[in-house]
Amino acid sequence: MTIVPKGYRFAVAAAGFKRPDRNDLGLILSSGPAVAAGVFTTNRFQAAPVLVCKAALAESPLARAILVNSGQANACTGDEGLANCHATLDIVSEFARVQPEEILPASTGVIGAQLKMELWNQAGLRLAGTLGRAKPMDVAKAMMTTDTFPKLVSKACQLSGGEVRLLGMCKGAGMICPTMATLLGFLLCDADIEPRAWREMLTYCADRSFNALTVDGDTSTNDCLLALANGAARVRVSSKDDLESLRQCMLAVCQELSYRIVQDAEGGTKVAHIVVSGAKSHPQAELAARAIGNSPLVKTALFGCDPNWGRIIAALGRSGADFEPQDVVLNIGGILVFEKGQPAPEDLDALLAPVMRHQDVKIELCIGPGRGTFTLLASDLSKRYVEINADYRT
Amino acid sequence: MTIVPKGYRFAVAAAGFKRPDRNDLGLILSSGPAVAAGVFTTNRFQAAPVLVCKAALAESPLARAILVNSGQANACTGDEGLANCHATLDIVSEFARVQPEEILPASTGVIGAQLKMELWNQAGLRLAGTLGRAKPMDVAKAMMTTDTFPKLVSKACQLSGGEVRLLGMCKGAGMICPTMATLLGFLLCDADIEPRAWREMLTYCADRSFNALTVDGDTSTNDCLLALANGAARVRVSSKDDLESLRQCMLAVCQELSYRIVQDAEGGTKVAHIVVSGAKSHPQAELAARAIGNSPLVKTALFGCDPNWGRIIAALGRSGADFEPQDVVLNIGGILVFEKGQPAPEDLDALLAPVMRHQDVKIELCIGPGRGTFTLLASDLSKRYVEINADYRT
């Protein structure tokens, strides 16, 4: 059962941005000002809603609402796109009785097309009509593009002053980036917390979840993860223990959502858990893990259930990470595969065949005596991925 | 017609490394010592033949022969692989009447399996039997793996002292890297040239051809480009003009071979010419070009003939290259698509549709006022690529 934090209402509408028959517009409204934090794409081209969110959060650490649409990314749309984004906030502002600058916008869809404002104008009333009647799951569904299932996770967290609730939702990475306008994630909490602590908690959790997964290595122009804490539970979070408890709760929610993104990767059939250890630093371990997780050859071998481990070693070798080839130890699904520069003297194909058929495949590489580690979740690369992305628009 | 440099003989044999019915072993033998140069993979794991070549060239700038096999990469095979590689040189040394250390070995195939030495022993005699009767094209065919056509280019070059001939052959990148043991290239010339000048010429040309293409971004453990100049034409190349003429000739051969590699990329249907200019430096331009050329989303859009230019912009945005988004100008097939942060005010889909149907698609990005440029050839990503690489071994 979904645990819904106190003091939030939800609304959805079918605006028809891409298809006429499904909800593609969602609103999350807090009953009072919520402490807000955001983590955004590092892409040099940032979509209009990303720019608007960043400006709003730079101006004030409080927000009242999140407005999300699927079907149009509003990225690479220049000044017109920015003006359109503001116009959508005005529409919501009227019926939701909040200031436009208190609303955080998020969009996902095809890059480079201007918003269809006539559809937005018509949809405003319908959105207002469902306010308070829609459920969190309805919003999670409205933000889907090629996702095959909605992604919603919620948890209660016991703190010294009482219970608070945390709800997270996101859209994939439903094969990261049919349009590169991919990852949207929202976290809602009813705790009462300082803005700075809330921001730090979000960054900590994002680095260990959403920032540690890959579907196809393409970082979207629209990626954003927004977090609201409205204090409606009347539980103040300030002691070190309480902050740590809430952080662990948030991390669990973020990691569960991240797993579901990779599980629902476009055309994906597998989730590879790539664990690199023994590197000279964490960034070095990350470099190695990402080269493997983004290698088309590793990904197609995963798809084909082919224990072609040489591709993993070769991807590590070209990763740019600093290590000695002789030090590298590779285990797949707990089976020793490669050590001291050569294959383990077993019938590896026979041993690995059943391991490769699992949905979850653990690839562990120790690359030296260092203390740097990184764990990356990666999807495989299937014919369906190519189909989806070759035919996405045309 | 193939222009064959003087003083080289060729041999091939069917050893049965992968299939019984086709030649998979080739030998190129120079009548006298040839000035030799090599460019090798930067992968931290280097195949046994790569290590042996590098050691030989470090010891002496002269070589007599190149020995190549397909079907087995002899990579990640440790000391046993190194000993096996030397044993194959001994086999050839006997009948070819050259020292083992005068033979440069090259292998391509699956990583991680030891050479099948019993097949090598049997194949030695058959190889000896064809010496002088085989043609360059036979060797070009023997080194193929998933290549769909052999790659051979030859040119004559007029110098002040007379004519010299340059012949190049390579194997793909037949979709770079069914096994990551991919790119092998050999250049044969009958000019008389200093070792240092020959090495510099090779590096110059490799950087502007083989090192400026991508199929799937995975750098092989076995990549090598070897060049022999045996002086059999009795034309000395030492003047600045002659060196420049020969260099241009070599560059033309290398670029033609490189084009054919991308044209014959695994499952490939398109060759994208990605031209980045205006960057702050050449490496910055290369960073941008490679992010685009390796983006699965750009590659699937190319495959689908989808003018989804937002993916090109988004890949540029995440490339790590330093530029101002407002400065970026994108042209595809000569059509202005994106400028000053927004799309050109045309019906781009209609204008671009015919452009995207060509086999060759030119993607030009000017990203600022700088002087850094880079041109990359890249293949698309098709369902066939996934099929080939998911099923390669199993």
pLDDT at A115 over 90: yes
Distance from CA of A254 to the nearest CA of B (A): 23
Mean pLDDT on A240-256: 92
Are residues B44 and A318, on separate chains, in Cβ contact within 8 Å? yes
Q: Are B190 and B9 in contact (CB under 8 A)?
A: no
H or E element, residue B374: strand B372-379
A292: left (phi over 0), alpha (psi -120 to 50) or beta: alpha
Are B250 and B308 in a shared domain? no
Last residue of a domain, one of B219, B247, B263: B263
* A253-278 as b/e: b if 16+ CB within 10 A: bbbbbbbbbbbbbbbbbbbbbbbbbb
Read off the tokens for A79: 């000044």
Active site (catalytic) residues of A: 182
Q: Are residues B215 and B259 in the same domain?
A: yes
The pLDDT value given to residue A63: 94
d(CA B14, CA B62): 28
Residue ranges in B264-372 assigned as alpha helix (H): 282-293, 296-303, 310-317, 348-356
**Percentage of chain A surpassing pLDDT 70?**
95
Report the SS3 class of residue B297.
Answer: helix
A393 contacts B221? CB cut-off 8 A: no
Nearest neighbour of B393 by CB, restricted to A303, A308, A342: A308
pLDDT for position B196:
94
* Residues A198 and A311 grouped into a single domain: no
* Greater model confidence, A385 or B391: A385
Residue A129 forms part of a structural domain: yes
Q: Would you state the pLDDT for residue B1?
A: 80
pLDDT at residue B234, as a whole number: 94
> Would the CB atoms of B310 and A76 count as touching at under 8 Å?
yes
Ramachandran angles phi, psi of A320, nearest 5°: 90, -5
Which domain covers residue A128, as residue numbers? Answer: 8-263
Whether B136 and B211 map to the same domain: the answer is yes
Are B43 and B192 members of one domain?
A: yes
Instruction: Note whether A171 and A144 are within 8 A (CB).
Output: yes
Q: Do A316 and A224 reside in the same domain of the chain?
A: no
Across the interface, which of B43, B294, B340 has its CB nearest the CB of A314? B43
CA-to-CA distance for B125 and B84, rounded, in angstroms?
A: 18
In a domain, A2, yes or no: no
What value, to the nearest 5°, has the Cα angle with vertex B298 and ends B292 and B304?
155
Predicted pLDDT of residue B174: 43
Q: pLDDT for B114-150, tens place per residue?
A: 999 999 999 999 999 999 999 999 999 999 887 888 8
Q: Is the residue at B293 inside a domain?
A: yes
Put simply, the answer to whether A385 touches B296 (Cβ < 8 Å) is yes
Q: Tell me which residues of chain B have a pLDDT lower than 50.
A: 174-181, 394
- Integer angstrom CA distances of residue B302 from A131, A391, B348, B359: 43, 10, 15, 10
For residues B221 and B289, membership in a common domain is answered with no
pLDDT in tens, B261-293: 888 888 889 999 999 999 999 999 999 999 999
Token representation of residue A47: 């979509």
Mean pLDDT value across residues A1-18: 93
Q: Which residues of B are catalytic?
A: 182
**For B108-135, b where at least 16 C-beta lie within 10 A, e where not — what string?**
bbbbbbbbbeebbeebbeebbebbeebe
A281: confidence class by pLDDT, cuts 50, 70, 90: very high
What was the pLDDT predicted at B178? 33
The residue-averaged pLDDT of A296-301 equals 90
SS3 B344: coil
What's the rounded Cα separation, in Å, for the pair A256 and A73? 25
Residues of A in contact with B294 (CB under 8 A): 217
**Alpha-carbon torsion (A293, A294, A299, A301), positive or negative:** negative
Give the contacts of B347 (CB within 8 A, at least 6 positions apart).
none
What is the predicted ipTM?
0.77
Question: What pLDDT, on the 0 to 100 scale, is given for residue A194?
Answer: 95
Mutation target for B interface from A85, A280, A388, A389: give the one with most B CBs within 10 A.
A389
- What average pLDDT does this structure show over A254-265? 84
- Taking CB atoms and an 8 Å cutoff, what residues of chain B touch A303? 386, 390
pLDDT digits 0-9 by tens, A33-68: 999 998 888 787 888 999 999 999 999 999 999 999
Non-local (6+) Cβ contacts of B334 within 8 A are B355, B362
Q: Do A325 and B44 touch (CB under 8 A)?
A: yes
Residue B20 zone, left/alpha/beta (φ > 0; ψ -120 to 50; rest):
alpha
Can you give the pLDDT at residue A324?
Answer: 92
| Averaged confidence pLDDT in chain A | 89
Minimum-distance CB partner of A111 among B76, B314, B394: B314
Same domain? For B252 and B275 the reply is no
Partners of B163 in the beta sheet? B158
Q: What is the pLDDT of residues B325-344, one digit of tens each?
A: 999 999 999 999 999 988 98
* Cα angle: B102, vertex B105, B106; to 5 degrees: 155
Using alpha carbons, list the distances in angstroms from residue A307 to B74, B113, B114, B117, B335: 17, 13, 17, 24, 45
B214 plus B281 within the same structural domain: no
What element of type H or E holds B345?
Answer: none
Contact A382 B385 (CB under 8 A): no
* pLDDT score at A392: 60
Q: B192 and B175, same structural domain?
A: yes
Contact (CB, 8 A) for B333 and B303 = no
Distance from CA of B343 to the nearest CA of A (A): 6
Provide the pLDDT for residue B230.
94
Distance, CA of B322 to CA of B367 (rounded, Å): 9
Write down the pLDDT at residue A393: 58
Full DSSP string of B40-106:
E---SS--HHHHHHHHHHHH-SEEEEEEEEEEE---S-HHHHHHHHHHHHHHHHHHHTS-GGGEEEE
- Taking an 8 Å cut-off on Cβ atoms, the answer to whether B45 and A301 are in contact is no
CA-based nearest residue to B311, from A250, A393, A327 = A393
On whether residue B136 sits in a domain, the answer given is yes
> Would residue B221 count as lying in a domain?
yes
Give the domain-ending residue among A207, A229, A263: A263
Find the closest chain A residue to B340 by CA distance: A78
Q: How far is CA B232 from the centre of its chain?
A: 26
Report how far residue B271's alpha carbon sits from residue B213's, in angstroms, rounded to the nearest whole number. 10
What's the CA gap between B207 and B283, in Å, rounded? 12
pLDDT of residue B80: 95
Token duo for residue B309? 């230019």
The whole-number pLDDT of residue A182 equals 56
Confirm if B95 and B61 have CB atoms less than 8 A apart. no
Instruction: Chain A: give the shortest CA distance to residue B116, in Å.
Output: 16
Among A67, A76, A68, which Cα is nearest to A111's?
A76
**Residue A249 and residue A329 in one domain:** no
Long-range CB pairs of A197-200, under 8 A, 24+ apart, other chains included: A197/A237, A197/A238, A197/A243, A198/A35, A198/A36, A198/A37, A198/A227, A198/A229, A199/A37, A199/A61
Query: How much is the pLDDT for A180?
Result: 36
- The strand ranges marked E within B172-244 are 184-189, 192-193, 213-214, 224-229, 236-237
Of A78, A303, A305, the CB nearest to B386: A303
pLDDT at res. A117: 96
> Is B366 in a helix, a strand, or coil?
strand
- Kindly report the CATH number assigned to the domain that includes residue A147: 3.60.70.12
Query: In this structure, is residue B190 part of a structural domain?
Result: yes
Closest approach of chain B CAs to the CA of A356, in angstroms? 12
pLDDT value at position A174?
Answer: 43
Tens digits of residue pLDDT in A163-199: 999 998 888 754 343 333 457 888 999 999 999 999 9
Map residue B347 onto helix, strand or coil.
coil
Q: Does B1 reside within a domain?
A: no
Place of tokens 């100008």: B329
Give the Å distances, CA to CA, from A381 to A182, A214, B281, B386.
Answer: 17, 11, 34, 7
**Residue A22, domain member (yes or no):** yes
- Say whether both B169 and B228 belong to one domain: yes
- Number of structural domains (chain A) is 2
- Residue A113 pLDDT level (bands cut at 50, 70, 90): confident
Residue where one domain finishes, among candidates A205, A240, A263: A263
| C-beta separation of A309 from A348 below 8 A | yes
CATH number for the domain including A306?
3.10.20.340
